[in-house]
Chains A and B, each alone.
Chain A
Amino acid sequence: MTIDKRMATATEAVAGIKDGAIVLVSGFGEAGNPTELVHALVDQGASDLVVVNNNAGTGHIGLAKLLEAGRVRKVICSFPRSAKSVVFQELYKAGKIELEVVPQGTLAERIRAGGAGIGGFYTPTAAGTPLGEGKEARVMDGKEYVLEYPIRADVALIKAERADPWGNLTYNKAARNFAPAMGMAARLTIVQVRKIVGLGGIDAEHVVTPSVFVDRIVEIPDPVSEAAALLEEDAP
């Protein structure tokens, strides 16, 4: 049997995601978002989801569309507030969604730790601040640290630039951001890529996410740009 993780469509790629799933969604602002996979998840219908992303969606596209469809019970993120995060802000103010704000580095490390089999870690970030309250604290070498626990997820939806059929990945510029850590931390990692190449088409020295972390790949040659879509929404 040969290993081939390619799926024909985004719909096929997101099949089987269950209600109540913890879903990691890559991206920073509008860079690196797996918009087509998130839209396929909207159509797939899973609800009561817990979504982990650096932000909380902008405009009415991608993650914001999933929120607007009422599928998300809780968002775990570092920065949910921006001028264009209108959907989340309305839900939050109406008490219709839970929010856990996590410092960005702690968020990234909790996800990395989840993928790396770490049971918890001490970080100086947030020690002595409201976000460190109620957390186990330790002073080591004169510095205060708080205990943080890993994030392990049911599903990761991530965007990459290239994949081979085994699932080795490369990324494009700063669109990489949370994807490599998220790809490690989920039981089912689903990737949309701009181009799928043959085995050997990615130099082994250049692989960023090794194939073992990836379960399903779908080629989306011309993904929507959320940033461009937002600019269009703004246009008179």
Chain B
Amino acid sequence: MTIPGRLNRDQMAWRAAQDIPGGACVNLGIGMPELVANHLAAGREVIFHCENGILGMGPMAAPGEEDFDLVTAGKMPVTVLPGAAYFDSALSFAMIRGGHIDIAVLGAFQVSRTADLANWSTGEPGVTPAVGGAMDLAVGAKRVFVLTTHTTRDGTPKIVEACTYLLTAAGIVSTVYTDLAVIDMTENGPVVREMVDGLDLDALQALSGTRLALSPDGAVLMAPEL
């Protein structure tokens, strides 16, 4: 379906980044969430946490300057900023589980209307199970932002009544940022805060697996050309 206002991956990351306040300590999941670091609002200082023991992570390492003792959760060579700290895995996850990380930005296979997240396994036979830090981040971060396309490639909704994939954690998603909408997960279910131009609630509803409500402050979801 052609929707003129549909966001690309960088625009989705940009939109989520605009909701990260200055001073926040943020953990970015592997994949699209990592793009969020490129789109922070000017003048907002944010400290990035990396599960393998880094606070104050900087940009990715330039080619030729990689240090393989300094990598991201996705095992990519990275840098640190002045003010950074290193620590061990037990302390890193104490930070996560103990509620010291303000925002975790994670990917998703599914988000349910009760804010459950499924993002670690589709449960397909033949695929080796692997969870990493996803469950700890989901239960431990003060707020969980989910960054994901609104549907799968074949059009199956990712925002659903109940997750059918294996659960990562229950009731923990704060806001979902998709290529079509910004949706806050509330006690009364998903509430659409913003939708891209050219889309109305009925059209968005048709691409969603559970009933959506429209915020009275509903606005058009716009992002710069990226």
Please give the residue numbers on chain A whose beta carbons come within 8 Å of chain B beta carbons, in ascending order: 28-32, 54, 78-82, 88-89, 92-93, 99, 101-109, 111-112, 123-131, 171-181, 208, 225-228
Contacts and interface: CB of A to CB of B under 8 A. Distances in A.
A127 B139 contact: yes
Nearest to B132: A79
B86 A101 contact: no
B167 interface: yes
A126 to B, nearest CB: 5
A78 B130 contact: yes
A129 B170 CA distance: 8
Nearest to A54: B89
Contacts of A78: 130-133
B130 A32 contact: no
Nearest to A209: B88
User: Which residue among B86, B88, B96 has the maximum number of chain A CB atoms within 10 Å of its CB?
Assistant: B88
Contacts of B168: 129
Interface in B111-169: 126-136, 139-140, 166-169
A129 B166 contact: yes
Contact of A103 (B80, B94, B131): B131
B88 A105 contact: no
User: Which residue among A102, A123, A125, A227 has the maximum number of chain B CB atoms within 10 Å of its CB?
Assistant: A125
B167 A130 contact: yes
* B: interface residue count bin: 35 or more
B88 A179 contact: yes
Nearest to B68: A227
Interface string B46-81: 000011111000000000000111110001000010
B75 A30 contact: yes
Q: Which 3 A-B pairs have the closest CB atoms?
A: A105-B93, A105-B136, A29-B75
Contact of A81 (B50, B80, B94, B130): B130
B11 interface: no
Contacts of A228: 68
Given A78-B131, A92-B128, A123-B97, A176 B170 contact: no
Contact of B169 (A28, A93, A108, A128): A128
Contacts of B170: 127-129
A89 B129 CA distance: 10
Nearest to B139: A124
Contacts of A125: 97, 135-136, 139-140, 169
User: Which residue among B50, B96, B97 has the maximum number of chain A CB atoms within 10 Å of its CB?
Assistant: B97
A156 to B, nearest CB: 13
16 contacts: A28-B71, A30-B75, A78-B130, A81-B129, A99-B128, A101-B130, A103-B133, A104-B131, A105-B140, A108-B88, A109-B94, A125-B97, A127-B170, A173-B54, A178-B89, A180-B90
Contacts of B133: 78, 103-105
B110 interface: no
A226 B86 CA distance: 21
A79 B120 CA distance: 10
A181 B68 CA distance: 21
B69 A31 contact: yes
Given A31-B68, A174-B54, A101 B90 contact: no
Given A31-B68, A181-B89, A105 B97 contact: yes
Contacts of B129: 80-81, 99, 101
Contacts of A123: 97
B186 to A, nearest CB: 18
A151 to B, nearest CB: 12
B175 interface: no
Nearest to B137: A105
Nearest to B66: A227
Given A79-B130, A105-B97, A109-B90, A173 B139 contact: no
A129 B135 contact: yes
A104 B136 contact: yes
B36 to A, nearest CB: 20
Nearest to A123: B97
Contacts of A80: 128-130
Nearest to B138: A125
A15 B218 CA distance: 68
